[in-house]
Structure 1
Amino acid sequence: MPPIVVQNGTLLRYMLDRYDPSSLKRLRRFLERQGVFTFKPLRTHLFPAAIVDRSNRHSGYHHVWVRDNVHVSHALYVHGDARAAARCLSALMEFFSRHRHRFEDVIDGDAAPADIMSQPHVRFDGATLRESREIWAHAQNDALGYFVWMYCLLACRGLLKPTSSDVSVLGMFARYFRAIRYWTDEDCGHWEEERKIEASSIGTVVAGLAKLRELLATGPNRREAAGLSDAELRVLEDRGRTQLRRILPHECIQKTKKRRTDAALLFLVYPLDVVGQAMGKRILADIAERLEGPYGIKRYAGDSYWAADYKEKLSPSERTVDFSDTVEARNALLSPGEEAQWCLFDSIMSAVYGRRFQRTRKPADFVAQTHYFNRALGQLTEPLPGIPAFRCPEAYYLSRGRYVPNDHTPLVWAHANLLVAMKLMETSLAE
């Protein structure tokens, strides 16, 4: 395996090619002292996308994203803080309940699915649970699927106790997915860009529907409250699974929008677990071969977000606007091979190999788990102007020929997934 780039040399005292319970505990204590695993929610129990101040508030990362919050709550759940995870999902449920007309208008035909701002909002003011008036690429079926999946997972474990009204909202999600025909719907997906039929979005909805079906099976009263039969949910879920078999291992196979590999597919392997072992291996191999770089993992080949010298080419107000309809203009900024390398994915790669090792006990899987865990650790920052030490950036990008953290540091769901990787390392060593 290629050598690991370590941004903060202090970590070299703690990083090992092979950990044991004692050395991993020592590493964890050090990271905890640095605040790596400290997550500070808003008073609503939701989490902003990144820690921002006046100097970088223009980024909009003080908003909350549904997707990010599900990943943070999942990390808290895996870590054993089910109470914090449940509070976060309850707040999301409250937001969707307040704004359920977004779903109902589409279901009833009073709003066109093509109108992005009429769709359920997936980025909003987390402090007030109010929608933002800013134009945004809200057509994100994956974000909605994530919410249903995580809410139902916690409810199935008895960690959330949904009311009849809550179950009704969950049923509304399913009817919305049916109304937009999610299995052929073009959405903006994980990266909020050009609308297309994406396997990563379809798979996330499938995971949500499967977990909803599991929850409703716990009692006829819940099926009645949801307004959906098990047979209806099975048909809806199966349409997505059929489409996944057509598309995977690609992200998109539409003629003019093809994308061979996208790191968002990794989430279908973990934590969603909606693909089989063979397809999971294929996805991991594709990402390692096509997207992995020395500093992180690209979202996809040709990704122009935070292209080289991004801050010199775009003003602060232009860097994080809605590019869903104008991505071609941004793509003109990119030279081949100069995509930003993100810090979200190595932790997930480690988690996938950790789950595999816990099943197979094959040494090669543990080696891979440790390798990607150390890559994720290596991304923690050295102290830089405006950026504290030991923080997970959103990405490293090229600035005047050198890879540096982008402005969105620390990125909360990158820290959350590093916590997941740590927990699964502990599990591998304990068994």
Structure 2
Amino acid sequence: MALDGIAVHNQQVRQRLRPTYSLAEVQALRQWLQTKGTFEVPQLDNGLFPAAVVTEQTRYTGYDCVWVRDTAHIAYSHGQQGDEATAYRVADTLMTHFMKQKSRFEAVIDGRISPDNHYERPPVKFIGTTLEELPQPWPQAQNDALGYFLWFYCHLYQQQLTSLAPEVIATLRRFIPYFQAIRYWQDEDHGHWEETPKIQASSIGAVLAGLQALYRWLPLSASERVTWKHLIQQGEQALQIILPAECRQPPPQYRRYDAALLFLIYPLSIVNRAMGRRIVAEVCENLQGAHGIRRYLGDSFWCADYKTKFSPEQRTGDFSQTMAQRDAWLTPGEEAQWCLFDPLLSVIFGRWFQATGNLQDYQRQLYHFNRALGQITADTCEQGSYKCPELYYLQDGHYVSSDATPLLWTQAYVALAFWQLEQNLHHDV
């Protein structure tokens, strides 16, 4: 199963794929890719990560900015693999960013800014070098990103015995009344994909994970505990109603399948094993393609011949209020196929194998590991070979990588897929 029907873009990589691997083979493969620059990750002076490596030709994408969501995932990957110094540095700089947003949080909490004003919420995308806000409006109502920060920061620091500065504690506590003010369990946010606002399980689950991590680590007052308990109950009840779908609202918001739900399994661990297996099965059955995994059915981002249909200014702009215009260009079945999710699935199956010893889980771990490696770019890629793309899309009838190549989020999970497989092989599978 590990090599069946796998599309491999780089022929040098193809020669190194195996139906199964020894620990030495995996380590040698990782080292070989390191020499090719596959895992080179640019980092800003303050520790943060841009979303992608950009050139003068691809700067239009805006991927040289920092997204809180992406950065939390990338830093978490570093920490899991033993690079805790990088993870702590990222956490501290993100904390500085959210300290600077005190007035935004308080304006929403106090009712001076309506939660419906999505462009005035605390920024989750910003200029990484200066921590300044973007010069142009951006839909900042992305509750999942706030949840990821809270979860990542508390997860990282919960083992530390040193006391934190009062301003840090105050910033963390500010999330509780904020999530209450926006009623996150029924808030229509833009979510992982920054598109049409909707009530979506992937956002609710990320906030829930953040709140749980906060409670495990930070002592709360009696009144804070009451509010926290209410927030947890509301989030859990919402997930019970929505899952395994992403959104249960009527069309056009309704969405049955969305690959963002995979993050509720890993790294957030917010759903039980049975629900996790159902989500994985439905993603693989309904969203998996030959070159990657679709975000969701009907996704028009980087649809076929995207560069000829949209100008550079339009391609990665704010479509959150005008999705119908972009969707009109999509032919069903020609959605872009993303490279982030196969390594994520490899990690998920690898963790299940560790827990259960089920060899089918191990075979699925290998299968998605090899699919992830098959997505590494070839010499014909405009952005260069041996890179981890954001996605593959149809251009003139052929699947090619998008301009956001390499995408650091993809890199982070390919590295985690290697790490997870090495962990399993250390136990002599």
In the superposition, the TM-score normalised over structure 2's length comes to: 0.97
Distance in structure 2 (CA, Å) of the matches to 1:341 and 1:154: 32
- Secondary structure (helix, strand or coil) at the match of 2:220 reads helix
Do residues 261 (structure 1) and 257 (structure 2) align? Answer: yes
Distance in structure 2 (CA, Å) of the matches to 1:261 and 1:163: 42
Does structure 1 retain, via aligned residues, the 8 Å contact 2:69–2:148?
yes
What are the residue-to-residue correspondences of 1:389-404 with 2, within 5 Å? 389-404=385-400
How far apart are residue 339 of structure 1 and its match? 0.1
Distance in structure 2 (CA, Å) of the matches to 1:228 and 1:142: 25
Residue 192 of structure 1 aligns with an amino acid whose one-letter code is: E
Check 1:117–1:159 CA distance in 2 against 1; reply closer, same or farther (3 A cut).
farther
Distance in structure 2 (CA, Å) of the matches to 1:410 and 1:38: 9
Distance in structure 2 (CA, Å) of the matches to 1:354 and 1:421: 8
Unaligned stretches of 5+ residues in structure 2: none
Residue 270 of structure 1 aligns with an amino acid whose one-letter code is: Y
**C-alpha deviations, 1:350-391, integer Å up to 9, x for none?**
010000000111111110001001101110000235312111
How far apart are residue 163 of structure 1 and its match? 2.1
**C-alpha deviations, 1:115-152, integer Å up to 9, x for none?**
12210111100000111121111110000000000000
Residue 173 of structure 1 aligns with an amino acid whose one-letter code is: F
- Secondary structure (helix, strand or coil) at the match of 2:294 reads coil
Distance in structure 1 (CA, Å) of the matches to 2:344 and 2:29: 19
Residue 292 of structure 1 aligns with an amino acid whose one-letter code is: Q
Task: Give identity over the alignment, percent.
Answer: 46
Question: What is the aligned partner in structure 2 of residue 11 from structure 1?
Answer: 13
Question: What is the aligned partner in structure 2 of residue 128 from structure 1?
Answer: 130
Distance in structure 2 (CA, Å) of the matches to 1:161 and 1:36: 38
Does structure 1 retain, via aligned residues, the 8 Å contact 2:381–2:401?
no
Deviates more, 1:131-140 or 1:384-393: 384-393
- Secondary structure (helix, strand or coil) at the match of 1:36 reads coil
What are the residue-to-residue correspondences of 1:63-82 with 2, within 5 Å? 63-82=65-84
- Secondary structure (helix, strand or coil) at the match of 2:394 reads strand
Does structure 2 retain, via aligned residues, the 8 Å contact 1:379–1:392?
yes
How far apart are residue 161 of structure 1 and its match? 5.8
- Secondary structure (helix, strand or coil) at the match of 1:28 reads helix
Does structure 1 retain, via aligned residues, the 8 Å contact 2:336–2:394?
yes
Question: What is the aligned partner in structure 1 of residue 241 from structure 2?
Answer: 246
Unaligned stretches of 5+ residues in structure 1: 217-221
In the superposition, the TM-score normalised over structure 1's length comes to: 0.96
Distance in structure 2 (CA, Å) of the matches to 1:423 and 1:161: 32
Does structure 2 retain, via aligned residues, the 8 Å contact 1:48–1:65?
yes
Distance in structure 2 (CA, Å) of the matches to 1:159 and 1:54: 45
Does structure 1 retain, via aligned residues, the 8 Å contact 2:42–2:53?
no
Distance in structure 2 (CA, Å) of the matches to 1:157 and 1:73: 17
- Secondary structure (helix, strand or coil) at the match of 1:245 reads helix
**C-alpha deviations, 1:131-181, integer Å up to 9, x for none?**
112111111000000000000000112298632211111111121111000
**C-alpha deviations, 1:248-271, integer Å up to 9, x for none?**
000000013210000000000110
- Secondary structure (helix, strand or coil) at the match of 2:399 reads strand
Does structure 1 retain, via aligned residues, the 8 Å contact 2:259–2:283?
yes
Deviates more, 1:252-261 or 1:12-21: 12-21
Report how many aligned residue pairs link the two structures. 424
Residue 61 of structure 2 aligns with an amino acid whose one-letter code is: S
1:93 is matched with which residue: 87, 95, 116?
95
**C-alpha deviations, 1:201-246, integer Å up to 9, x for none?**
0000000000000012xxxxx435xx96333312211210110000
Does structure 1 retain, via aligned residues, the 8 Å contact 2:265–2:348?
yes
1:119 is matched with which residue: 118, 121, 124?
121
- Secondary structure (helix, strand or coil) at the match of 1:397 reads strand
Do residues 232 (structure 1) and 234 (structure 2) align? Answer: no
**C-alpha deviations, 1:297-332, integer Å up to 9, x for none?**
000000000000000001111101100000000000
1:319 is matched with which residue: 315, 322, 331?
315
Does structure 2 retain, via aligned residues, the 8 Å contact 1:82–1:159?
no
Residue 133 of structure 1 aligns with an amino acid whose one-letter code is: P
**C-alpha deviations, 1:271-298, integer Å up to 9, x for none?**
0000000000000000000000000000
Deviates more, 1:395-404 or 1:249-258: 249-258
Residue 248 of structure 1 aligns with an amino acid whose one-letter code is: L
Question: What is the aligned partner in structure 1 of residue 47 from structure 2?
Answer: 45
CA RMSD of aligned residues (A): 1.3
What are the residue-to-residue correspondences of 1:159-178 with 2, within 5 Å? 162-178=164-180
Distance in structure 2 (CA, Å) of the matches to 1:355 and 1:167: 33
- Secondary structure (helix, strand or coil) at the match of 1:183 reads helix
Does structure 2 retain, via aligned residues, the 8 Å contact 1:111–1:118?
yes
Distance in structure 1 (CA, Å) of the matches to 2:75 and 2:159: 14
Question: What is the aligned partner in structure 2 of residue 298 from structure 1?
Answer: 294
2:306 is matched with which residue: 310, 315, 325?
310
**C-alpha deviations, 1:386-420, integer Å up to 9, x for none?**
31211111100000100000111000111001111
